[in-house]
Amino acid sequence: MSDRVFTVLDLIDLDLKEHNSLNLRCIGGRKGLGRQIDIPDLNRPMGAIMGFFEDFAYQRIQLFGRGEVAFLRKLEKDGKTDTFKEMFNYPMPCCIFTHSASPHKDFFEIAEKSQCPILQTDLGSADFSARIMRLLSRIFSPRITVHGVLVEVFGLGILIQGESGVGKSETALELIHRGHRLVADDVVEINCIYGNTLMGAGANKIIGHHMEIRGPGIINITHLFGVRAIRERKEVQLVVELEEWISNKDYDRLGAEDHTVELLGVNIPKLVVPVKPGRNIPIIIETAAMNERLKSMGYHAAKEFNKNILKWIESDAARSVFFGHDDVI
């Protein structure tokens, strides 16, 4: 369940493109377009059509494929419409017919009377199911809004955070200039998809690809660097926190221990980068991105370094023990 109000009309009005498009249109029951969708799941109502209503998942979107449509036509041909009349006594969000199929006029009349929206798509049942489940999982997923800049560096989604004025936007601007991509500046909305994946995007699509740089002011990244420099959404795979250099703080110089931060119940690798004059923060972040990709492929440079040092110490100690004793004849 989600506390977000999402209606059937919202589902139709979503601006989805290419492989995400649902190709939905309303063919009946328009008065019910304000019905809420509360559960991110589908139901194939063959059991209900046959008159079996025990455990009928009426709270879900009802999906009618070729099998359900064929059975509906048989019932209508035989004049046995009482079963799906009873089905409309349940407050279903909507009924969706795939393969551009349409129900018989009796079905339409009952739907109109109960004010249940009837939608149609030209997609097949399997394709439509996969698309709408992806969409619903994103819409109903837990979300938070954080302050920071989300960029894609060498294919890795990096959330740059830190106190105001530490140089987050300036660092991101340099990364963009070096060929990387901006996802969102200042306010980042993060969704937890499937319970283990964090997807980040701009909280506001209108201002998402604008940046505020002290001096020049507001700049439009798309117009300055082209569409190659932006991305709508990206998985958050690393958090980099910029902080002013503290002279008496003991910073990690080896990186043998992996640090994480929890966002929406998911642990994400975290790196603290101290900022002071002379440090090239964009290059450090690029290096951190490449290092993180190596870790994901099973190579941990710091741990490998420690392992080699231990081998060297052990071998050197063994030689000292061996050569430290006089040979006995």
**Which of the 8 DSSP states describes residue 31?**
G
Cβ contact 186:149 at 8 Å: yes
Sequence-distant (6+) residues with CB within 8 A of 221 are 176, 182, 209, 210, 211, 229, 230
Tokens 């004010």 found at:
115
- Rg of the chain on CA atoms, in Å: 29
Q: Which of 35, 60, 138, 168 is catalytic?
A: 168
Six-digit token string for 232: 């709508």
User: Which 3 state secondary structure label does DSSP give 91?
Assistant: coil
Per the structure block, which two tokens stand in for 267? Answer: 């642990």
Whether residue 186 lies in the annotated active site: yes
Candidate list 74, 147, 205, 279, residue with the active-site label: 147
Residue 278 to residues 166, 245, 274, Cα–Cα distance (Å): 14, 12, 11
**Is 168 an annotated catalytic residue?**
yes
Burial of residue 157 (CB within 10 Å: 0-12, 13-18, 19+) is: buried
Q: Is residue 189 within 8 Å of residue 147, measured between CB atoms?
A: no
Q: How far apart are CA 161 and CA 238, in angstroms?
A: 11
Among the options 19, 77, 214, 253, which is catalytic? 253
- Active site annotation includes 143: no
Nearest of 275, 277, 284 to residue 174 by alpha carbon? 284
Copy the structure tokens of residue 140: 């109903």
Q: Which residue in 260, 271, 254 sits closest to 308, CA to CA?
A: 254
Q: Give which of 82, 69, 179, 169 is closest to 124, Cα–Cα.
A: 69
Residue 202's DSSP bridge partners are 188
Give the residue numbers annotated as catalytic, written as ranges.
147, 168, 186, 253
